[in-house]
């Protein structure tokens, strides 16, 4: 046979050409073993590395992507809130505190789309006298004259009050934007949900509303269930999920406020309302409990109780 590299004639049994030294055919047994044993191992090693990179790397990549997306949503939320606070600080109300408006919006748990929707209506923080002039007596807020009114409260214990009121009134505003067909579908679900609720504070708060006034009644159900009731049917929760990031955070805030107000009532009641018949400074602690209850309760219809 002839060497394919240099053309030199050589033995057919030769593995290497005696003239040029190059390999003429086949491979050594050692080389054959190396290729047969190592090559599949290398392939498996590469596949294992790719798999490990996916198993460990993808969750990290996904987590980082979600973190960046969440940051972008928060940044957009902050931008909307600051813009709304700036706009509402320029309304006709004298006491509108830009920082307070931003604080209420930040704590409201409504999503960015709903924040943008809320930016279409001015938010006015007002005192008892101003609120009473445009809203119902003893109201904590209302939607009237194309504006959303919220009772201005500065007590430390009631920091969440204005947030709950804002969300409650915003739900009134949202309900008012539904079509008649949308209301018809929602109202039946609200009625079914209301019939199963046993919470006494919720029930007390509805006593001042007339069931025969369907528009007002269902609007109130929509606002109260959304901000006060923890467990509701999934089909009703789906409505609120369109507007809230965390509705349960608002429900928990409301529960804390109701507990606080009811605590004041219990303390005041335990003194038999005696402070009304003695000089102001004789029972300062008892008097404070009762005055605080009256002042706070005048803006929380959900806890109205007669002495």
Domain annotation covers residue 290: yes
User: For residue 301, what pLDDT is reported?
Assistant: 40
Domain annotation covers residue 44: no
Whether residue 222 contacts residue 186, with contact meaning beta carbons closer than 8 Å, is answered with yes
How many angstroms separate the CA atoms of 110 and 247, rounded? 8
Token code pair at residue 246: 């965390």
**Residue 255: how many other CB atoms lie within 10 Å:** 15
Domain annotation covers residue 61: no
pLDDT tens by residue, 131-144:
888 887 667 889 99
Dihedral angle computed from the Cα positions of residues 62, 64, 67 and 68, in that order, rounded to the nearest 10 degrees: -110
Compute CA 63 distance to the chain's CA centroid, rounded to the nearest angstrom: 20
Domain that holds residue 230: 89-303
User: For residue 154, what pLDDT is reported?
Assistant: 64
SS3 sequence of 161-197: HHHHHHHHHHHHHHHHCCCHHHHHHHHHHHHHHHHHC
HSE (side-chain half, CA atoms, 13 Å) at 279: 2
User: For residue 167, what pLDDT is reported?
Assistant: 94
Domain annotation covers residue 108: yes
- Give me the helix-helix angle, 234-241 and 247-270, nearest 10°: 100
Q: Cα-flanking dihedrals φ and ψ of residue 306, to 5°?
A: -75, 150
User: For residue 275, what pLDDT is reported?
Assistant: 42
Band of residue 14 on the pLDDT scale cut at 50, 70, 90: confident
Domain annotation covers residue 52: no
User: For residue 291, what pLDDT is reported?
Assistant: 60
HSE (side-chain half, CA atoms, 13 Å) at 182: 9
Domain annotation covers residue 74: no
pLDDT tens by residue, 61-79:
778 887 787 787 778 777 7
User: For residue 180, what pLDDT is reported?
Assistant: 93
HSE (side-chain half, CA atoms, 13 Å) at 226: 29
User: For residue 257, what pLDDT is reported?
Assistant: 82
Query: Is pLDDT of 223 > 90?
Result: yes
**Residue 182: how many other CB atoms lie within 10 Å:** 12
Domain annotation covers residue 116: yes
Domain count, the chain: 1
């Amino acid at each position: 046979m002839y060497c394919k590299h240099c053309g030199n004639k050589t033995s057919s049994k030769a593995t290497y050409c005696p003239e040029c030294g190059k390999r003429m055919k086949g491979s050594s047994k050692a080389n054959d073993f190396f290729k047969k044993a190592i090559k599949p191992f290398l392939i498996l090693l590469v596949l294992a590395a790719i798999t490990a990179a996916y198993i460990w790397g993808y969750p990290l990549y996904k987590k980082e992507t979600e973190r960046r997306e969440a940051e972008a949503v928060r940044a957009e939320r902050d931008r909307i809130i600051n813009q709304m606070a700036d706009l509402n600080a320029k309304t006709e109300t004298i006491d509108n505190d830009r920082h307070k408006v931003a604080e209420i919006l930040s704590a409201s748990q409504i999503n960015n789309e709903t924040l943008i929707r809320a930016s279409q209506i001015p938010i006015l923080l007002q005192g008892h006298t101003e609120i009473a002039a445009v809203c119902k007596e003893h109201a904590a807020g209302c939607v009237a004259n194309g504006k959303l009114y919220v009772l201005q409260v500065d007590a430390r214990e009631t920091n969440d009050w204005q947030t709950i009121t804002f969300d409650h009134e915003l739900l009134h505003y949202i309900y008012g934007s539904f079509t008649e067909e949308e209301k018809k579908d929602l109202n039946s679900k609200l009625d079914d949900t209301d019939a199963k609720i046993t919470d006494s504070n919720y029930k007390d708060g509805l006593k001042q509303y007339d069931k025969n006034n369907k528009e007002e009644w269902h609007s109130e159900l929509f606002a109260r269930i959304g901000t006060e009731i923890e467990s509701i049917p999934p089909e009703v929760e789906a409505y609120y999920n369109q507007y809230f990031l965390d509705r349960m955070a608002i429900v928990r805030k409301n529960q804390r406020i109701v507990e606080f107000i009811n605590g004041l009532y219990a303390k005041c009641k335990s003194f038999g309302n005696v402070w009304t018949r003695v000089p102001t400074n004789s029972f300062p602690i008892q008097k404070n409990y009762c005055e605080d209850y009256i002042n706070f309760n005048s803006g929380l219809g959900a806890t109205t109780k007669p002495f």
